[in-house]
Amino acid sequence: MYIMQIGLNTLYDIGSSYTIKLNEEELLVFEKEEIKKPENLYEKNIKEDEEKKAKESTEKEALNKLSPDEERLVNDLQARDTEVKAHEAAHQAAGGGMTGAASYTYQQGPDGKMYAIGGEVSISMQAGSTPQETIANARKIAAAAMAPANPSGQDNAVASSAKVMEMKAQQQLRKEEQEKAQGQEIYGNIRLSS
**Residue 89, pLDDT above cutoff 80:** yes
Question: What pTM, to 2 d.p., does this model score?
Answer: 0.58
Please give the pLDDT value at position 118. Answer: 94
Give percent of the chain with pLDDT exceeding 90: 46
Non-local CB neighbours of 74 within 8 Å, separated by 6+ positions: 63, 66, 109, 110, 111, 113
Please give the pLDDT value at position 193. Answer: 57
For residue 170, name the pLDDT band (cuts at 50, 70, 90): very high
Mean pLDDT of 151-173: 93
Q: Find the range with the poorest average confidence among 42-51, 76-85, 100-109.
A: 42-51
Query: Left if phi > 0, otherwise alpha if psi is -120 to 50, otherwise beta: which for 21?
Result: beta
- CA 40: distance to chain centroid? 34
Please give the pLDDT value at position 2. Answer: 47
Non-local CB neighbours of 80 within 8 Å, separated by 6+ positions: 115, 116, 117
Please give the pLDDT value at position 168. Answer: 93
Q: Find the range with the poorest average confidence among 29-38, 141-150, 184-193.
A: 29-38
Any idea what DSSP says for residue 24?
A: T
Please give the pLDDT value at position 20. Answer: 60
**Residue 6 phi, psi (nearest 5):** -120, 125
**Residue 108, pLDDT above cutoff 90:** yes
Please give the pLDDT value at position 41. Answer: 74
Mean pLDDT of 50-78: 84
Please give the pLDDT value at position 194. Answer: 54
Task: Determine whether 69 is exposed, middle or buried from the number of CB atoms within 10 Å of its CB (0-12, 13-18, 19+).
Answer: exposed
